[in-house]
Amino acid sequence: MSRNRTERLVNLVICLLSTRRLLTAAQIAATVPGYEHDPSDAKEHEAFQRKFERDKAELRELGVPLETGTSSAFDAEPGYRITRRDYALPDIILEPDEAAAVGIAARLWQHAGLAEAASSGLAKLRAAGVEVDPQATLGVEPLVTVDAAFGPLTAARRVRRVVTFDYRVVEHDAATTRRLQPWGVVCWRGRWYVVGHDLDRDAERCFRLSRIVSPVQAIGPERAYEPPGDVDLISYVAHFSGPVEHVLRTTVLVKPGRAAGIRRFAQSSTPVEGGDRVVVTYSDVRSIAGWLVRYGADVEVLDPPEVRAAVIELLRDVAKTYAHDDTARIGVS
């Protein structure tokens, strides 16, 4: 399935989840990105109808409960919607590593063109006087974002175009301009990296996206190079980053019988009132905070203050995202 069709299907689902009334095909065409056409042009309208029929069939094949009907006896054209109670999944219990994988995937949405298109579609619905349920799309919205360079780099990688950008390393104040054939973008220890062939140095290199200090520009023609098929990007970044020494310690209170992943890496564990006082080592505040947050209310950070503050900040970000959803509130003190 092409990326454009995937985005169109996702935005169609968001559109139909966000309204409590049935939307006609004409209203959907005026709202969902990818369906734009001139209704007065017979060929364009016929092409839209074929596309819409294929998309409806695809959604039903995927198990999406697409409801068809009319809002009143006077409606000549059928309408469509997806009711949240039929679409919602039952509660799913994820292990911490599974939750982490879902979290990484969620980060991609913000820069895959989906969030902006979805917001635009909902705005069109409101402008047309359609009542929109602001809580209906909680399951498909991103919680966090990735670096601004992520989108341009992944777009260039898809069509194999060379990119150029200014890059600053810790050891130098001034940024240098790099030209890169990007092979891929990967996440390692909570940070995003691009791996590729540095044209100026004629060597393999990886760059941390947060250190790219200029817009990423694609240059030259498409299909300008062929990425090697045998490179393990994660292993390359891990080797490039070097071993990390876990010399710092944090103490957490773990509920009885919970957070097995934390207990596995404990330096010590002492039974206390309310659970176990567990000590684990770490090297980076941001990374350890992101790891601890995955365990939710099963873990409370006792010290040091900077780790506790980082965890609270992350929880507040999530709480703000779901501030109006009573089923997803997170208490932060």
How far is residue 50's CA from residue 286's CA, in Å, rounded to a whole number?
Answer: 49
Angle, CA 7 vertex, CA 3 and CA 12 arms, to 5°: 150
Does the pLDDT of residue 89 top 90, yes or no?
Answer: no
* Predicted pLDDT of residue 171: 55
CA-based torsion, 114, 117, 120, 124: positive or negative: negative
How far is residue 9's CA from residue 33's CA, in Å, rounded to a whole number?
Answer: 10
Does the pLDDT of residue 202 top 50, yes or no?
Answer: yes
> DSSP of 239-255, one letter per residue?
HHH------EEEEEEE-
The pLDDT-based confidence of 110 (bands split at 50, 70, 90) is very low
Which residues, including other chains, have CB under 8 Å from residue 151's CB and lie 6 or more apart? 111, 112, 113
Does the pLDDT of residue 224 top 80, yes or no?
Answer: yes
* Predicted pLDDT of residue 99: 56
The pLDDT-based confidence of 106 (bands split at 50, 70, 90) is low
pLDDT tens-digit map of 252-299 = 999 998 888 888 888 899 999 989 999 998 877 887 888 888 888 889
Q: Tell me the C-alpha to C-alpha distance, in Å, between residue 245 and each of 23, 150, 242, 252.
A: 57, 28, 10, 20
Averaged confidence pLDDT in the chain: 77
Does the pLDDT of residue 119 top 60, yes or no?
Answer: no
* Predicted pLDDT of residue 187: 76
pLDDT tens-digit map of 17-53 = 877 788 888 888 888 888 888 888 889 889 999 999 9
